[in-house]
Amino acid sequence: MIVELARGLWTTLRALIFEKKVTVQYPEEKKPVKQRFRGRHYLDRYENGLEKCIGCSLCAAACPSDAIFVESAENTDEARYSPGERYASTYEINMLRCIYCGFCEDACPTEAIKMGDNYELSFTDRRQAIYTKEMLLVPVPPGGKPTPQVTPPGVYTRSVPEMKDPVD
């Protein structure tokens, strides 16, 4: 019996002394997520600051839990949010509904909605779980301008980036 006890204690001691610790002191210490981790979404911008989202609502259509709500409006050269004619005037994701499947990301024709690294979502109110466009949009990249922008006519005529012939 002593032997068994000692063997068991040895296992404990071995783990304590010789093995590498796996415990992470969260939240002081955070582990990096994997490359294909699907965390909280963000809405991307082009380098010049224009929003990639064109308000097409395909993410909302793809969403299996109906967590996304999009309303769109028309761009003008005086007040341009995104390239082309259409932009999202409202973009909301209900994070309580979201199941982080990433279908929205797949459906997006402009790679505007992307799933990021952030998994630290907590709310004290159900309303807080609704992320608005302002909360989802990334900051304007350096050198870019915030939206809406005043743009020269005839430049940003296409919503979806020009398709190219596939190169093998």
Partner 1 sequence: MAKLINLKINGKPVSVPEGTMVVDAAKKAGIDIPVFCYHPKMEPVAMCRQCLVEIGRPVIDRATGQPVLEENGQPKLQFGPKLETSCSTPVSEGMVVITDSEKARAGQREILELLLTSHPLDCPVCDKGGECPLQNLTMKFGPKESRFLYDEKHHAEKHFPLGDLIFLDRERCIQCARCVRFQSDIAGEPVLGFSQRGRHTEIVTYSDPGFDSVFSGNTTDICPVGALTTADFRFGARPWELKSSASICSQCPVGCNVTFNVRREVKAGGGYVIKRAMPRQNEQVNEIWMCDKGRFAGYQYTEADSRLKLDSPELDQALSQAAVKLAESASQAVFLAGGRLSNEDFYTLKQFATRLGAKAYLYTRHGGGEYTTRYGLAPGSNLGNLGKGDTVLVVASDLYHEAPLWYLRLKAAAKRGATLIVANARATKLDEFATFVIRYSYGDEVETVKSLSSKEKVGEAIKNTHHLVIFYGADGLGLTGTTALAQACADLFTSLPVSQTAPKANNGLIGVWSTPNQQGALEMGFAPCADLAAELKDKTVYILAADPAGDDPTLAEALKGAKAVIAQDILETETTRLANIVLPAAAYTEREGTFTSGERRVQRFYPAVPARPGTKADFALIAELAKRCGIDLEGRSALLVMNQIVANEPAFSGITYAKLAEVTEQWPIIGRSDLFYGGTGYENKQGLGVTLSLTPGVSPQGRDKQATLLSPSPAAKEMRGEGLRPKEDELLAVPITKLYDNGTTVAPAKLLAAHIARFDGVFVNPATAKKYGLENGSQARVSLNGVTYSASVLLDESISTGVVLIPRSFGIPLAEPAFVLLTALEPAQEA
- Nearest CB to partner 1, comparing residues 4 and 162: 162
Nearer to partner 1, 11 or 76 (CB): 76
Q: In angstroms, what is the minimal distance from the CB of 67 to partner 1?
A: 14
Query: By the 8 A CB rule, do 93 and 59 touch?
Result: no
Q: Specify the residue, 71 or 120, whose C-beta has the smaller distance to partner 1.
A: 71
Closest by CA to 112, choosing from 162, 159, 64, 150, is 159
Residues making contact with partner 1 (CB under 8 A): 54-58, 60-61, 69, 71-74, 84-86, 90, 109-110, 157-160, 163-165
**Residues 6+ away with beta carbon under 8 Å from 31:** 24
CA dist list (Å): 112 to 7, 11, 67, 120, 127: 57, 51, 17, 21, 24
Question: Is the Cβ–Cβ distance between 84 and 54 less than 8 Å?
Answer: yes
Instruction: Please state the closest distance from residue 89 (CB atom) to partner 1, in A.
Output: 8
Cβ–Cβ under 8 Å, residues 87 and 43: no
CB-nearer residue toward partner 1: 22 or 163: 163
Cα angle value 123/127/132 (rounded, 5°): 100
The minimum distance between CB 73 and partner 1, in angstroms, equals 6
Q: In angstroms, what is the minimal distance from the CB of 145 to partner 1? A: 22
Closest CB to partner 1 among residues 23, 157: 157
Q: How far is CA 166 from the centre of its chain?
A: 28
> What minimum distance in Å lies between the beta carbon of 53 and partner 1?
10
